[in-house]
Structure 1
Amino acid sequence: MFGKKPAKAAIPLEKSDIKAFLGPGSQFEGNMTFTEIVRLDGLFRGEIHSQDTLIVGQSGELQAEIKVGTLILSGKLKGNVTADIRVELRAPAEVEGNIATPVLTVEEGVVFNGSLRMRGAAPELPGKGGADGARKGEK
């Protein structure tokens, strides 16, 4: 009862499982598509598309529109996320944007300012500035 935490999803994080890595201090701007697991610890601006897993480390900063299978975020994100499988927000993650996913886990210490949509498979989020699931003026 006490002292036990629920087991985290079995997402492989071995170095050999990660197929691409953008390290701390590096910057990239553009469109990224990938298969298998990618880890970002640098600065990325643009769009990311994949059916696989994107891992953003604590030093990672994204200004991006993201559509992936799974997102594991420990860094900073400004933009919208659509994940077909799940989103994991791990401390000290900071998110400013909207998330659409069927499964969301949030650790204590995460900052999330945006809207969340969870209905089975994640629907596409509308573009910036449009009226989405959260109507203006509602709390």
Structure 2
Amino acid sequence: MWALGDKHVQDSSDSDNFTFLGKGVDFKGVLNFDGTIRIDGHVEGEVHTTGTLIIGEQAVIKGILSVGTLMTSGKVNGTVTATAKIQILKPGILIGDIRTPGISIEDGAHFHGMCDMGANKWVDENPSSHKNVHDLAAHRGKARTADL
């Protein structure tokens, strides 16, 4: 019987932390969280979590977001860095620069800004020799003069 009680305490400590900022909340400053956070109010400043940030339809966020995953159907104006992915859901609006390995934008959602998905990692820094590349402009000029 005591073992069941101990197991229940252990299971609740392993569960994901969940934080909720409701519709009437107006916050200015820096928010640091572990786990998942849902915001339905207004936040101006910074939000940091390694977990998931869920932004509700009524929410307005202005500032810097540093998250694991961002799921937004509200309004975001700022810089977003997500280590996993960003999902902009209808009727969400995200204005600002984002950095993420993956993004999805639902039909009816809006994004305006620059997106960095780490493509510079895929570019070969030491390009191979271009011995077999021909100058098309020079070649076209020769072909045109031959036709005259």
TM-score in same-fold range (> 0.5): yes
Amino acid aligned to 1:43: H
Q: Which has the higher contact order (CA 8 A, sep 6+)?
A: 1
Q: Percent identity?
A: 38
CA distance in 1, matches of 2:17, 2:38: 7
After superposition, the Cα gap between the structure-2 partners of 1:51 and 1:17, relative to the gap in structure 1 and judged at 3 Å, is: closer
> For the pair shown, which has the larger CA radius of gyration, 1 or 2?
2
> Does 1:20 pair with 2:19?
yes
Amino acid aligned to 2:80: V
Cα RMSD of the aligned pairs, angstroms, is 1.5
Unaligned runs of 5+ in 2: 1-14, 120-148
CA distance in 1, matches of 2:116, 2:26: 30
Q: Which runs of 4+ in 1 moved over 2 A?
A: none
Residue equivalent to 1:115: 114
Amino acid aligned to 1:92: P
Q: Is 76-85 or 24-33 further displaced after alignment?
A: 24-33
Alignment of 1:1-139 (within 5 A): 19-119=18-118
Q: How many residues align?
A: 105
Structure having the higher helix fraction is 2
TM-score scaled by length of structure 2: 0.68
TM-score scaled by length of structure 1: 0.72
